[in-house]
């Protein structure tokens, strides 16, 4: 990364709003995901992470679901967390921020005693996650009209 970046767990409302703004830019504006399905009840219980430039500019976000909140996405296995809503602002792509966000979410998963992390990757992003140790399983499916595959990484 050529730009000094910090990834932190979101603990205050301003950081949470920064996460939502990045998700709106990437998923709603760029990818056409309807806003009413982009934000969900899981946002209230998720661990959110935020990547910021040294001047405080938000660059990327992601979230971790665990326990009951993750069960529907992980096949009901309480030891598996669910990584989701990973988004990097357009101007910040290619700087390693996505990798830093995934690793921060994995650290949060370990802190919650989880043994693996599942995710639903947009099919075009499979290679990114494979390079980080995730393995695809199951058939391709549509989510918000976008092709996805389930993936898992044992921690």
> What pTM value is reported for the model?
0.94
**pLDDT beyond 60 at 2:** no
The dihedral built from the CA positions of residue 62, 66, 69 and 74, taken in this order, carries a sign that is positive
The residue-averaged pLDDT of 103-115 equals: 97
The residue-averaged pLDDT of 14-41 equals: 95
Distance CA(24)–CA(20), nearest Å, equals: 6
**pLDDT beyond 80 at 132:** yes
Neighbouring residues of 34: CB distance < 8 A, sequence distance ≥ 6? 28, 144
**pLDDT beyond 80 at 1:** no
Of 110, 102, 108, nearest to 51 (Cα)? 102
| pLDDT (0 to 100) of residue 75 | 85
Distance CA(132)–CA(134), nearest Å, equals: 6
| Cβ atoms < 10 Å from Cβ of 117 | 27
């Amino acid at each position: 990364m050529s730009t000094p970046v910090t990834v932190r767990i979101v603990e205050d409302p301003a950081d949470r709003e920064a996460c939502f703004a990045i998700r709106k830019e990437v998923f709603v504006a760029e990818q056409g995901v309807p806003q009413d399905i982009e934000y969900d009840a899981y946002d209230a219980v998720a661990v959110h992470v935020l990547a910021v430039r040294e001047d405080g500019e938000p660059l990327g976000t992601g979230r971790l679901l665990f326990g009951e909140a993750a069960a529907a996405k992980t096949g009901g296995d309480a030891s598996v967390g669910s990584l989701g809503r990973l988004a990097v602002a357009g101007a910040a792509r290619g700087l390693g921020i996505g990798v830093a966000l995934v690793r921060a979410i994995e650290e949060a998963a370990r802190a919650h005693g989880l043994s693996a992390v599942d995710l639903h990757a947009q099919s075009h992003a499979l290679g990114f996650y494979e390079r980080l140790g995730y393995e695809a399983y199951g058939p391709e499916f549509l989510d918000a009209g976008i092709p996805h595959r389930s993936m898992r990484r044992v921690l």
